[in-house]
Amino acid sequence: MQSRSSILDSLTENPRVPVLIIGAGANGVGVLWDLAQQGVDALLVERGDFCSGTSAASGRVVHGGIRYLENGEFRLVREALGERNRLLINAPHCVVPLPVFMPAFSWTKGMTHAARQFFRLRSKPGDRGALVLKLGFALYDAYSGKGALPAHRYVSRAAALRERPGMTDAIKAAFVYYDAKLLYPERLCIELLEDAAAAHPAARALNYVSVVAAFGDTVRLRDELTGETINVQPKVVVNATGAWIDLTNSALRQPTQLIGGTRGSHLVVDHPELHALCHDQMLFFVNEDARICIFYPLEQRVLIGTTDIPDDEPDRAIISDAEIDYLIAAVKRMFPQIALDRSHIVYTFSGVRPLPRSDALTPGQVSRDHSSPRIPPGSGLAFPIYSLVGGKWTSFRAFAEQVTDKVLGELGHARLHSTARLAIGGGQRYPHDAASQAAWIADVAQDTHLDFERVAVLFKRYGTRARTVATFCSQGNDVPLAQHPAYSVREIVYLATHERVEHLDDLLFRRTMIAMLGEITLLLLDEIVGIIAPALGWSEARGKEEVSRVVTLLREKHRTEPSVTA
């Protein structure tokens, strides 16, 4: 990617940009990536860091939406399953198959609700019995297509209880089916930005730049790092700010009421017993209030989610005490005797889903489909605005394609390339089988003189882009971090200097999973600041400010504290 200063300088020299995209979550980054493949100049701005909003607060599951079937959203499920299958091929370093264990607590419950939903009659959801689940999985498999992932299978009550000692004996049966998990959405976002810049240098992206005003053919932007303002003149504006869409449109002098978001909160816990009980599967079940809950292994931790609470203040999306209690109780519904409490929590995160305003009876019944309503030029503005409502990581490519086609129509451009089969980032030229991966790692190790084991770690993190990182690491005196030996000094410098890190939390929360896995210590903060401060030109005072900023974010937004030592 171009440097921040070079992009700002180029905009000062020429403020005309065919497309201005506001918001660097999955939707906005996806549109920039697609436009780049079509050779269209575009500028993406994000008031925080890339992928720092709702797109970073997802449950990290790439799925077709088995529960959307009961809402009658068949088109959405077909689209999402097709996109899930594409991501497994195009981003195999980030998206991997995930077996899902789903218990049923009755045989027949949910039949009436399913029938009413099918005929578009209002009905509150309840428990889903084994018969309803069996019908849903049969349809899900049909939409998934043959050969993409294994078909679902039935698990008897006796077998389920035998496989997971201590699981509630209230279950009547269970099923195992397959979806996928997105190991690292924040890295996928960065790789899409890098791919966009490589495909078309005039596809530019800036973090920490906000929209402050609009008039005529101009949008005024503010650099949140310096306070300076700059004007740009777009032909089309894409509002991809998710839960902030209505606020952004107000700043653009085009007030809307499009969003009726709900807050989804998650816990990350350090609990070896629960981790083992997962059996490398996601447990997906209906809680007593008919809400869907999940938990599954995330590295050596367990991720637990999620809630679904109406929330119109996305800037204040923080897990509540009630949500923490709810999620812990949900796990205990599955394993009544397990010792799980707040002391096991190493991280929490929350985000507001950018759902459309709705009069649905429950938050779970609000459509998860996406749309991009157009605001025509008017109210003193010379450009149209497309607002991207809904969307999720699973279907970001399809949504971006739909929006890009609309933008191309505005500009009078034809689509040059489809992105359906376009490999992403470290998924390019990816070796799929174990033997090919070992050969690839050995080749990079030989070229860079790094240990095979070290390159293997980099390959797991970055896919085939590990070659670039390994080469950088080999070009200097590289040693493991004293406080986190899984990372090295040169690797941290590479991330800081090549991936547009502007704050310490960018590196700890999004360029790595150190924060999410609960691995931040005060000693580690000091060590990393000592490494990146010279590379980024930070003073000693700035370094201390950055450490304080991380501690405050952990405490106030994620409700955790860094330990003194590991």
The length of the chain in residues reads 566
CA angle 536, 539, 543 (to 5 degrees): 80
Q: How many CA atoms lie within 13 A of 28 on its CB side?
A: 35
Look at residues 530, 509, 533 and name the one whose alpha carbon lies nearest to residue 520.
509
Note the pLDDT of residue 52.
96
Query: Which residues are bridge partners to 211 per DSSP?
Result: 221
Whether omega for the bond prior to residue 306 falls within 30 degrees of 0, making it cis, is: yes
Tokens 């590289």 sit on residue: 478
Name residue 108's amino acid. T
Question: Tokens standing for 292?
Answer: 């869907």
Note the pLDDT of residue 68.
86
CA distance 227 to 209: 9
CA distance 521 to 554: 11
CA distance 161 to 171: 9
Rounded to 5 degrees, φ, ψ at 449 are 65, 25
pLDDT tens-place values along the chain, 566 residues long: 889 999 999 999 999 999 999 999 999 999 999 999 999 999 999 999 999 999 999 999 999 999 888 777 899 999 999 999 999 999 999 999 999 999 999 988 766 556 555 555 555 555 778 998 999 999 999 999 888 899 999 999 999 999 999 999 999 999 999 999 999 999 999 999 999 999 999 999 999 999 999 999 999 999 999 999 999 999 999 999 999 999 999 999 999 999 998 999 999 999 999 999 999 999 999 898 888 999 999 999 999 999 999 998 999 999 999 999 999 999 999 999 999 999 999 999 999 999 998 665 456 566 778 999 999 999 899 999 999 999 999 999 999 999 999 999 999 999 999 999 999 999 999 999 999 999 999 999 999 999 999 999 999 999 999 999 999 999 999 999 999 999 999 999 999 999 999 999 999 999 999 999 999 999 999 999 999 999 999 999 999 999 999 999 999 999 999 987 66
Has this prediction a pTM greater than 0.85? yes
Note the pLDDT of residue 126.
58
Note the pLDDT of residue 49.
98
Domains and CATH numbers, the chain: 4-54+186-259+369-411 (3.50.50.60), 95-180+261-357 (3.30.9.10), 431-556 (1.10.8.870)
Query: Which residues are bridge partners to 353 per DSSP?
Result: 262
